[in-house]
Amino acid sequence: MRRLVVAVVLSAAFGAVVALSLAPSVAQEAEGEPRAQLVAAVDVSPITLEIGKLRAELAAVREAVADEKGLRGDVARATAAVEALQAQLKELNEGFRKYADATQPVIAQLAPVRRWDYYVLRSRSESVTDRLGREGWELVTASNEWLYFRRPLREEEPGKE
């Protein structure tokens, strides 16, 4: 705050010095040189209003810090709320872990391992690939003139593995 007041006073003083240095001297007026005059007015009322606002804010902060039940109480309540949420989160995570552990064997039984039947073709005929698509084959990759297809192994084909 004091720095701001000092800065305002120094800027006003600097303005006055500049104004005086630009004003012609008495000797110049006697020689008949043209006369130059610079008038500067500085409105410091906005600065004064800002200083008043800053003083009010500083007083409020000092009062809040001096009040043991003010900010310290708010911080203590917020800390307690965060700790309670952390405990609830830990409890929920433990419950989810137990649920996942209990249901994993059941899910493994319900989702059988998928086995695939593969087909390799050395043709790029569109009619052949259309026919294979209708039969359930899906194109996996292509390399030069070779096409690699796969489809899920059908249950009625137990001999294929």
CA distances from residue 87 to 11, 75, 78, 90 in whole angstroms, order as listed? 58, 18, 14, 5
pLDDT of the residue at 62:
79
Q: At what angle do helices 45-66 and 2-22 cross, to 10 degrees?
A: 170
Look-up: residue for tokens 């690939």?
129
Domain boundaries along the sequence of the chain: 2-66, 68-111, 116-152
When pLDDT is cut at 50, 70 and 90, the band that residue 159 belongs to is: low
Paired tokens of 126? 């569109």
Residues listed for the chain:
161
| pLDDT tens column, 109-132 | 777 777 889 999 888 788 888 999
| pLDDT tens column, 41-84 | 777 778 888 888 888 888 888 777 776 666 677 777 888 888 88
CA dihedral 95, 99, 100, 104 (to 10 degrees): 160
pTM: predicted TM-score of the whole model, two decimal places = 0.31
Q: Which strand (E) or helix (H) includes residue 144?
A: none
